Structure formats: structure tokens, C-alpha cells
Structure 1
Amino acid sequence: MPKGFQAMTPHAAPPISVEGLRRSFRGPDGRPFDAVAGLTFRIETPGTIVSLIGPDGAGKTTLLRLLAGILTPDAGEVRLFGRRPDTNDPEFVATLGFMPQRFGLYEELTVWENFKIFGALRGVEGAALETRFRDLMTLSGLKGFEEREAGKLSGGMKQKLGLSCALLSEPKLLLLDEPTVGVDPLSRRELWRILEAMRTRTGMTVLVSTAYLEEAARTDRTMLLSKGRLLAEDAPDALAQTTAGRGWRARALKDAEEARLARALMHDVRAASDSPAAAPWLDAVPHGEYVDLLTAADHTRSGTPPRLATDAPEAHLEPRAPTLEDAYCALTFPETRAVHAALAAPARRTDPPAPTRTAGNPLNAQDVQDAVVAEGISRRFGAFTAVADTSFRVRRGEIFGLLGPNGAGKTTTFRMLCGLLAPSGGRISVAGVDLRTARSAARAKVGYVAQKFSLYAQLSGRENLEYFGGCFGVSGRALRERIDELTAGGELARRLDARVGELPLGAKRELALACALIHRPEILFLDEATSGADVCARRAFWRRIVDLARAGTTVVVTTHFMEEAEYCDRFLIQDAGRVLALGTPLEVRRRAGAASVEEAFARIVTDARRRNAEGFAS
């Protein structure tokens, strides 16, 4: 809580008061389920920022919509500053600011036109609207884009515009539903800067749901939901202390063994999916030069770490301070065990045969050896250059990352690698096949998971798998066995015959990955496949990806979660269509003089933009 704010008087109404709140929906099987199941809590002090965290389907979005008056509860009561939610009540509307997941913008209208609409809805017009518009344009960094259509803004700029529209009436309470999903670290930092500035200026209370636990850790209080119920709530540091004595840090004793150590320990964690009592480690996450470990509760002994994985390189273990991530994983693991089991299932060894050169495949020996080759590629859209003279190679069996801020050109680069977009210049080979001369042959060797999951919503999960299997020549008994193998033990196995449009997000993510792997591809392309996933789902997903790489599959990934870059063997950082850095996580961190990939990312991109601005000015 910022300095200067005082606790409320005993008779003042709290910013949020919720008693016995319940809201049910009908599930895919036709049975009702409680999205919010009898919640009771209070946010007593104005001016606080409270984070709302939890697994997929925990009820976070439903709760925020109930507070905003968009949904009506089946039972219980909500009061905001003593007032019941009522979107027809002008005073309630003026009290509240709400930013939904997709920002709620009118994308065909300009920035200024969006402000005029949101101002009219909140009773802010005339000189007051113009004054607040100028202030928010300056605060958000959108000054100069007033006449730009919202749909033509980058993801980070849309995020800041959505937040600015929600702040237009200077609300006493601001509700944010995962506002930073799908945007880069620099844009996330900007959002939190804006929030802190507005809180200091107006005393606004904020309730924000987030998939980023480092964001939750900076708030005054954290609420952890699962299956519509409140698992825990306290200050982030107090929640972290619930796992004191269970955290360890491992460091490889030999240089260049960090990646091998991390993968061995992640492989060992997989046993916890089936039997937590049998597995020493509940979580293993690469962080810089270390691997941070969390023991399962049954393996916690004072000061004595469990043994490392049998195939791990020699490493030094030391205790570390507990974190909010530790508490989250420990508290939610029993709730998300099925997700762990499905996404962390072992992968069968599938070393692909090395391609050979033919008349229709005129590649040199190095091109054949590498899984992906991009040589001097560029892509122009009219007068705009999205990618300029980019070159890199991805080795077979490597996990390779494409990182960059929104609008950096990485999605365009990714689409060119997948054969979905032809380069304007340069050349690309994939799985030993030149995309210019044999695009169909290359596509047969790759799997692709799009950010929006490219699934057929009207078909069942099984029908989607059968369709994609047929497209790649997998049929009959082989297809049935492959479907069983890819879906065994997870939530999807129970929902295979449900329509995809009715599946929860976690099951859709599992299905999209299964469809991409149905034909045992040599190369797997992942385009922000974990966007919107909670930390446990992301960790389980990445344990699966690491296992696939161990089994011989090459993986190329784009992500805005900088912690995921630590799983990569190498990655590049791109901005304004050009490569700024390329190397292993350790090499990039050392080059930037940073302790983490996120810090290195911020420094490299910021420094490059400053140099470009100085060059332009001169």
C-alpha cells in the first residue's frame, strides 16, 4: 500500500465485500458446475493492489464479471464501496473501471474515437474528456497515435489503450482481467508503471488477475483460486513462506552443463504427475545459471536435499529462499495433477533419418545437417519492411526460441519458417527441404501449434485428431494407437468425444499439441502455445517439450514468457525486423550483463532502440 493511505474508519464501506458468492454454468456434458463456489472475502483498505491467480478454469474471469455487474450471481452478495453492482446505475459505472482480457476496444475506430465512446459511457465529456485524454496519452506513451486505428496498434499499444480507456473516469476501483497476456515484457512493465502512477495520484484500488506470478509478487495481497474456491490469500511474501525449507538451487559443476542438468531434473519431476509421494522433486525450473527445485512435501527433511536425477551431471545443491511460485505449485498441484500427467507424458525416441540431396532438393551438406536454415530472409508489406536480412540456423534436436517485443517481426519470421508466408528475399530450408522448391514435402515433416490453436470447433476432439492424422497419412490401427498414446491419462482422454468448442482452455491446448504430433514430425513449431496458461500448465507443457527434444524432435518456439526462453538451447532476440542477439541463454545474459533472460531482453531491446533514435536524430 502506498505511503499516505490510511486504514478506513470502522463505518466506511470496504472497496469489495463478497459473501457466499456462487455462479453456475452448464458444462459440455450437460451437467451444471460451479464456476464460483460460495466465495467469501473482503478487500478492506482503499489504495491496495490485489492480485488474483489460479489454474485454468479457476473462476477468475467469472468472479471479475460478477463484480463488474456483467453477470448476475446465482447466490450470495457483492458490494463495491457498499453499492450492489448495477450497470444501469450511473454512480456505480463512474466508480468502476473494467478491462476485459481482449481489451474491449473498437478496432475499426481511432484512439481518440475510442476515448470518446468510453467517455460517453462513463459520463466524461467536453473539456474534462479532452484534459483526461491528453493526460492519459502522455502517461501511457500513446501521444502521437491519436488518429491511429486501434486495430492497427501493436499488442502492447492496444493493452495501454485499453487500460487508458478503463482509467478515463478515474475510477475508485479498477478490475483487470489478465491484461498482460500476449504482450512483451517491456509492455508489461509499462502497464505496471501506469497502474502505480494512477494509484499514487488517485488512491484507486485495483484487483488484477494475472498468469505472471512475478506480477502477483509485487502486489499488496494475493488471492489464489481453484475450481471456484479460495485456496489461500495473504501477502505474497507470507504465502511464499508456506514452502520454507522446500526450495533448493542446483548448479552444474562444469561449464556448459546447465542445459543438460535442467533437462535431467525436469525429466525426473515427471514422476510427480502420477505419484507425488514417490517423486522427490515437485518442480524444476531453469533460472539463469541455476535450476530452482521444489521438493514434494513427503520428501522434505530439514536441511537435507533429496538425491538428484540419476542421469544428471554433477551439481552443487544449496537451500534457497521460498517464492510465490513455490507456494502456487505446492497448493495447486493436487488440483492440476491430470494436466501434469497428460502434458508431461514421456516421448518415444524418434530420431529422424537425415535427408539426402536430390535433384529436387539441391542443398549443401550443412543445410542437410541443420533442421532449419534461414539465410538473408526478408519480408516486405508494401513500403513496410517487417523482417530485414535475417540469418540463423537451428540444429537438429535443438529447442530454438524467437523472442521480441510486439511488432518486432518475429511472427512474420515464424510464419515464413512454417511455409505459411513466402519471403520477399533470401532462402529457407526446413527438415533438409528447400521451401522454394518443395514446400509440401517440408510441411509433411513439421507440426504446428498456433496461438489460436487452429482446431475445428464443431468437430469432436477425436474427429480433429482423425482429420489431422488423415492429412498426414496416418490411419487405421496406427492412428488409433497414436491417439491413445497422445491422450492417455489427461483431461482430454475423458472429453475426446465432446465438441472442441465446448472444451476448456487446458483441454484445447492439449488437443492442439496432440494434433501437431499425430504424425511424429521432425520439427515442431510452437507459436505462443502457452499464452494465457497458468504457471503449472506452462511447466507441465514445457516438460513435455523438453522430453520431445530429448527424443530427437527439433522445436522452434515464440513466447512472451521470458522464463520459457531459459528452456531453449539457443534463442534470438529481434526488434524492428532485425536480429539483436543470438546465442544460448547464458551467452545472451552475459553479453547483456544481466541475471535473467527478462533483464537481458529489456536491456538489449532498450539499448538498440536508443541507438536507433540517436542515429535518426543525427
Structure 2
Amino acid sequence: MTSSLLSITNLGKSFKTQNKTIAALSNFNLNLEEGKMVALVGADGSGKTTCLRLCAGLLKPSEGTVDLLVSKDSVTYMPQKFGLYEDLTVQENLSLYAALYGLPYEQRAQRFKRLLSLSSMENFTGRLAGKLSGGMKQKLGLICTLVKSPRLLLLDEPTVGVDPFSRLELWNIVVELTKAENMSVILSTSYLDEAEKCDHVILLKEGKTISEGSPSELKKITAGKTYFCLPPRDVVARNVQSLLLKTSGVVDALLQGGGIRMVIDSLSTKQRENIDKALKNCKVCPVDSSLEDTMIFLNRKLSETSYSTDISAVNINTGAGEGPAVIQASHVIKKFGSFTAVDDCSFEVRKGEVFGLLGPNGAGKTTTFRMLCGLLPPTDGELFVSGINVRKASKKAREKLGYVAQKFSLYGPLSVMGNLDFFASCYGLSGQKKKERIEAMLQNFSLENVKDMVAEDLPGGYKRRLSMACALIHDPDILFLDEPTSGADPMARREFWMRITQLSAKGVTVVVTTHFMEEAEYCDRIVIQDAGKTIASGTPAEVRSLAVSSSKANPTMEDAFIAIVSQFRGKVSS
């Protein structure tokens, strides 16, 4: 018979601001049994982090109770920004956290060996934490959290910002230790495939539980409502997807495996006619529902809102790849001392194309980005942006492009309007033209209601909107996006990619990196890098075909990514 570790009853937490009181969590209930995994899923601001912080004792409830039925020192919590000491080595971080958690000295060597083996970090014990890739930092943070085996483990977005390869490794660590040591886990995640592996899932919206149950129970909500649509070869799938998302009766549409996965509610005759028109000449068949289908379905039904991006001008037959090359990279090399970050990289990007740079953490993607933007000079090779040699005229090249960095890099103390005004001036806008572009960005990115808010106080989704608005305020020809949807929930990611579809249809060239492999399906072509080298390139379909095997006849992009990187690393190690 299993025992309970945690009992939560009618839990609520409110925060007071200058003007009002915000209910971050309301009437939350949970009975957590030993050895079970619970996933908290919801959009930005749904209350996931607040719930975890209440469970960890870092916040006091405004109402209700959190009854911890084990000792407090048997609970560990890994926040989104885990406090690694970057000037200490991997081994020194482990030793420090072992001391902080009170792990007996005689148990440390064996525990360290097990954790390092699980995380494949045995060969990096002497490396400074600050010199690790993003994925390795996450792994180090996780094993530091687990240095003393807890009864209850609290994880806040443990795999955010890491590549699929590292995400798989992180998840395997959690699963293996949970089973071996009978831990209970509560985690928040933006990845619904991770939530599907848990025993119980709680869907949150604006601090309230909208549904909960086992993954199989929740998937029944959208059973019979999910379909797969395969457009003709001469039709751009992302354009069909955008049209479907704006069609009444279509609750969700997601690019997947070269086609579109749809969730369709009960339809009126007129709605069915509109959907049939959008799907003209497409092959459609029913498919099994997923947890993500249910999450989107419940959120859209409750809010009764449509996506705000206007894609009415998008032509489904408009593709990219036939125009002139606006970005050319030829045998580019970048070295930092003896370390080669980018090794003989070559590619072209054409006008209006959406081009994806993919790869594990530390593969060289961001370095390639920064060279293309003129922020880093290449050690060797040539880079041309809009016909301008970046090595010789980087400032002139930068005038042609917009750039959104991985991390929020705007001016936190300035308001939304202040940031827009500042960046408009930096790009040389003034007078009526400047005023018009600011107003256009406020409207296009739905920022009117928060225009006077200080940027650092904005929710994560609004920060991403503001970053995009500032990057586009001068109407650039080329847009560089470095992991723009990291940490975003599925609904925010759909809204984001509708904007990219709209920009591409208008002739804007987009270069993007992402760790969400489903997003690679939005790209016209992609390049996969690892250890600075190009290890695969082509259309999404061509890249997926590289992973076809007897066991995977129809691999997803994530399947292909993991297979390609694994094969490359196997060849390198052998």
C-alpha cells in the first residue's frame, strides 16, 4: 500500500501590486503518493511556479494548506535558474551541494560516481561550470539537486532551453532515479510529451485547475476530434496551418511530419464548408489524440479567443527558395584560442525563406548567428548579408537585419514605449515615420494594454513580443531569431509561428534556431550542426528521411535529430 507524501487542500496565493491584487493560484488540491510523478502544465502565468514554490516552503499560502508528510530536509527543489557556481568546477559544485545538503562524507564518492555516470559527465569533472554548454549546465544543476536522494523532488521546467539530445538525457536521469529510489516528483513543463510520461497531469489556466487526471484519461477529451492533413507538394504546409488556425471550428493546427495535425470541434454546416475550402486538395485522415491536443482544446474553449495574428494575406501556394540568395556563408571558421566553435560552415539563404539552424547545446549555432549579425568577426571564410561583406562592413550589414537574442536583452527599467522609442531612434527613425512604426508594433504585437509597463515586469510571453517588436521596428529585410520560443507554452509558440509565416509571405528572410524540433517543420530548409560542423542539411522531409529505419518508418523531426547527432558522435568517438 502506497503512502502519501504531500497533501494540498484549497491552496491559494495572491500577490498585491500597486493597483490590484492578483490571484496567482486558486483552490488548488493534490494528494501526492509515494513514487508517483505529477506534471503541472499551463500557459505563462498559469500558476505552475507559484505552486512549486509553495510546496517547497518558499512562499506562504494566502489560503488553504500544504501538509508535508515527510521531513523538510527530504525535499529538494530545482528552480528554472539553478544556482550553479560558474567559477567552480563540476566536481567542486557537486562537493559544495553535498556539504549544503548534509550528505555524510563517506557516502559522497559513491553518490558522485552514480550521478556522473547517469549524466555522462565523468569526463568533465575538472571543467568550470561556466564553460559548460547550456545542456550540460542543466544536467549539472539536476545532479547537484539530487546529490542527496530526496523523498520529494520539485522541478520547475527542468528541460527548458536544452536540445532534444540533452532533454532525453535529463529525463532519463529523473525517471531512473525515481524508480530506483522511489522518489515522488512534481514538475512543471512546456513539453507535453514529458507530461504524458507522468502518472498524473494537472492543467492550469490563470491559477485555476481546468482539468486533471492520468494522461490516458485527459486524452479521451479530444478522442475523435484529431486529424492529420497532408497538403499537395506544391502547397506550403505552414501557410495551410495558418489559414486553419483562423478558421472557425478549428481548435488547433500544428505542423507535424510534413503535414498538419488538427483538432476540430463539433461543426456547423457553414464551418465545415470553410474548413473544406481551406483543405482543398489535401488528404485528411483521423489520428489518435495527444495530451497537447487536449491542453490546447481546453484552453481555447475556455477563452473562446482566436489567434491575434492577421494572416489573411497569406497565399497557401506562396513558397520560398526561388529568389536571390540574401545570406551567403562560405567556409566560415571561428576559433576562440585553440577551440574551434564553427568549423568550415557553408550555406545560402534566399529571400523570403525560413531557414533553421539546429544542433545540440554548444554546437556552434549562436556563434554562427553572431557572426552573421556582424557581432563577431569570423576567423576565416566569407559572410555576405544582402550583398554586403560582413567582415568588411558589419555596421552597414546590421542596418538590414533585426536580431532577437536567446535571453531577454532589452532595457528592463524602461517601459514598453520607452524600449520601442529607443530602438526606433537607434535604427535612425524619426518624426512621423518613427511614430507610425511604434504604433504599428504596438498593434501588431498586441502591446497597447501594457505600453506603459516596465519591461522587466512583463510576463514572459509579453517580453518575447516586445523583443520581436523592437527587432522589427525598422522593417528589416532579414530577421535573426536565436531560440525565440525557449520556455514558451504551446499556444504562445503557435502564435509566434503565425507571425513568422506572415513575415515570410511578405518577403522577410528569417533565420532561426530552436530546440523544439516540431518547429523545424516550419522551415523551408534546415542545417544541423554539432561540434561546429555541419552534419545534415536539406528540407525537413529530406532530413527526416535520413532517420528512416525498420523500426521508424515515419520518424518525427525529433527522432531524426537524435539519430543524426548520435550517428555523428559515434563516428567521431570511434
TM-score, length of structure 1 as denominator length:
0.87
Moved more, 60-69 or 117-126: 117-126
Moved more, 66-75 or 470-479: 470-479
One-letter identity of the residue aligned with 1:468 = F
Partner of 1:291: 260
Q: Does the CA-based 8 Å contact 2:445-2:466 persist in structure 1?
A: no
Q: Tell me by how many angstroms 1:159 deviates.
A: 1.3
Q: 1:108-119 alignment to 2 at 5 Å?
A: 108-119=87-98
Partner of 1:103: 82
Q: 1:325 aligns with which of 274, 285, 292?
A: 292
Partner of 2:9: 19
1:56 and 2:44 aligned:
yes
Q: 2:192 aligns with which of 198, 201, 213?
A: 213
Which SS does the other structure have where 2:411 is aligned?
A: coil
Q: 2:283 aligns with which of 316, 320, 343?
A: 316
Q: 1:429-578 alignment to 2 at 5 Å?
A: 429-488=384-443, 492-578=447-533
Which string of whole-angstrom CA distances, capped at 9 and with x for unpartnered residues, describes residues 507-554 of structure 1?
Answer: 111111111111111111101011110000001111111111111111
Q: 1:558 to 1:336 in 2, by over 3 A?
A: farther
1:608 and 2:539 aligned:
no
Question: How far apart in 2 are the matches of 1:309 and 1:478?
Answer: 42
Moved more, 305-314 or 591-600: 305-314
One-letter identity of the residue aligned with 2:535 = L
Question: How far apart in 2 are the matches of 1:490 and 1:587?
Answer: 34
Q: 1:347 to 1:468 in 2, by over 3 A?
A: farther
One-letter identity of the residue aligned with 2:387 = G
Which SS does the other structure have where 1:488 is aligned?
A: helix
Partner of 2:546: 591
Partner of 1:73: 61
Which SS does the other structure have where 1:340 is aligned?
A: coil
Q: 1:532 to 1:612 in 2, by over 3 A?
A: same
Which SS does the other structure have where 1:129 is aligned?
A: helix
Question: How far apart in 1 are the matches of 2:165 and 2:391?
Answer: 36
Question: How far apart in 2 are the matches of 1:403 and 1:300?
Answer: 42
One-letter identity of the residue aligned with 1:534 = D
Q: Does the CA-based 8 Å contact 2:241-2:255 persist in structure 1?
A: no
Which SS does the other structure have where 1:22 is aligned?
A: strand
One-letter identity of the residue aligned with 1:291 = I
Question: How far apart in 2 are the matches of 1:336 and 1:413?
Answer: 40
Partner of 1:236: 215
Which SS does the other structure have where 1:566 is aligned?
A: helix
Which SS does the other structure have where 2:147 is aligned?
A: coil
Q: 1:147-226 alignment to 2 at 5 Å?
A: 147-226=126-205
Q: 1:257 aligns with which of 225, 234, 252?
A: 234
One-letter identity of the residue aligned with 2:285 = E
One-letter identity of the residue aligned with 1:288 = G
Q: Does the CA-based 8 Å contact 2:374-2:391 persist in structure 1?
A: no
Partner of 1:358: none
Q: Does the CA-based 8 Å contact 1:430-1:442 persist in structure 2?
A: yes
Q: 1:367 to 1:51 in 2, by over 3 A?
A: closer
Moved more, 558-567 or 588-597: 588-597
Which string of whole-angstrom CA distances, capped at 9 and with x for unpartnered residues, describes residues 194-246 of structure 1?
Answer: 11211221111111111111111121111111111111111112111101222
Unaligned runs of 5+ in 2: 315-320, 549-553
1:33 and 2:22 aligned:
yes
Q: Tell me by how many angstroms 1:347 deviates.
A: 8.6
Partner of 2:551: none
Which SS does the other structure have where 1:537 is aligned?
A: helix
Q: Does the CA-based 8 Å contact 1:265-1:308 persist in structure 2?
A: no
Count of equivalent residues: 562
Question: How far apart in 1 are the matches of 2:411 and 2:528?
Answer: 33
Q: Tell me by how many angstroms 1:306 deviates.
A: 5.6
Which SS does the other structure have where 1:147 is aligned?
A: coil
Q: Tell me by how many angstroms 1:310 deviates.
A: 4.6
Question: How far apart in 2 are the matches of 1:612 and 1:513?
Answer: 38
Which string of whole-angstrom CA distances, capped at 9 and with x for unpartnered residues, describes residues 17-59 of structure 1?
Answer: 11121222234x532201112312222x211111111000111
Which string of whole-angstrom CA distances, capped at 9 and with x for unpartnered residues, describes residues 66-117 of structure 1?
Answer: 111112222221022x25xxxxxxx411x11211112221221122221222
Q: Does the CA-based 8 Å contact 2:245-2:307 persist in structure 1?
A: no
Q: Does the CA-based 8 Å contact 1:458-1:499 persist in structure 2?
A: yes
Which string of whole-angstrom CA distances, capped at 9 and with x for unpartnered residues, describes residues 321-359 of structure 1?
Answer: 111111111112256777932xx234989xxxxxxxxxx
Which SS does the other structure have where 1:592 is aligned?
A: coil
Which SS does the other structure have where 1:322 is aligned?
A: coil
Question: How far apart in 2 are the matches of 1:499 and 1:426?
Answer: 42
Q: Tell me by how many angstroms 1:262 deviates.
A: 3.2
Which string of whole-angstrom CA distances, capped at 9 and with x for unpartnered residues, describes residues 438-493 of structure 1?
Answer: 22221111111111132111111011111111222323333333233322276521
Question: How far apart in 2 are the matches of 1:110 and 1:339?
Answer: 49
One-letter identity of the residue aligned with 2:243 = H
Q: 1:393-432 alignment to 2 at 5 Å?
A: 393-432=348-387
Which SS does the other structure have where 2:546 is aligned?
A: helix
Q: Does the CA-based 8 Å contact 1:339-1:490 persist in structure 2?
A: no
Which SS does the other structure have where 1:163 is aligned?
A: helix
Q: 1:286 to 1:348 in 2, by over 3 A?
A: closer
Partner of 1:270: 246
Moved more, 554-563 or 96-105: 96-105
One-letter identity of the residue aligned with 1:315 = C
Which SS does the other structure have where 2:417 is aligned?
A: helix
Deviation >3 Å, runs of 4+: 304-313, 334-340, 345-349
Q: 1:367 to 1:413 in 2, by over 3 A?
A: farther
Q: Does the CA-based 8 Å contact 1:159-1:179 persist in structure 2?
A: yes
Moved more, 433-442 or 443-452: 433-442
Q: Does the CA-based 8 Å contact 1:336-1:536 persist in structure 2?
A: no
Unaligned runs of 5+ in 1: 1-6, 84-90, 272-278, 350-365
Question: How far apart in 2 are the matches of 1:204 and 1:467?
Answer: 50
Q: 1:230 to 1:515 in 2, by over 3 A?
A: same
TM-score, length of structure 2 as denominator length:
0.93
Which SS does the other structure have where 2:22 is aligned?
A: strand
1:281 and 2:279 aligned:
no
Q: Tell me by how many angstroms 1:174 deviates.
A: 0.6
Aligned identity (percent) is 44
Question: How far apart in 1 are the matches of 2:28 and 2:305?
Answer: 25
Which SS does the other structure have where 1:422 is aligned?
A: coil
Partner of 1:87: none
Q: Tell me by how many angstroms 1:611 deviates.
A: 0.6
Q: Does the CA-based 8 Å contact 1:267-1:547 persist in structure 2?
A: no
Q: 1:346 to 1:317 in 2, by over 3 A?
A: closer
Which SS does the other structure have where 2:19 is aligned?
A: coil
Q: Tell me by how many angstroms 1:164 deviates.
A: 1.0
Partner of 1:3: none
Q: Tell me by how many angstroms 1:300 deviates.
A: 7.3
Moved more, 396-405 or 426-435: 426-435
Q: Tell me by how many angstroms 1:162 deviates.
A: 1.2
Question: How far apart in 2 are the matches of 1:581 and 1:313?
Answer: 33
Q: 2:310 aligns with which of 333, 345, 356?
A: 345
Q: Does the CA-based 8 Å contact 1:103-1:158 persist in structure 2?
A: no
Question: How far apart in 1 are the matches of 2:192 and 2:303?
Answer: 17
Partner of 1:360: none
Please tell me the root mean square deviation across aligned C-alpha atoms, in Å. 2.2
Question: How far apart in 2 are the matches of 1:425 and 1:219?
Answer: 48
One-letter identity of the residue aligned with 2:395 = S
Partner of 1:247: 226
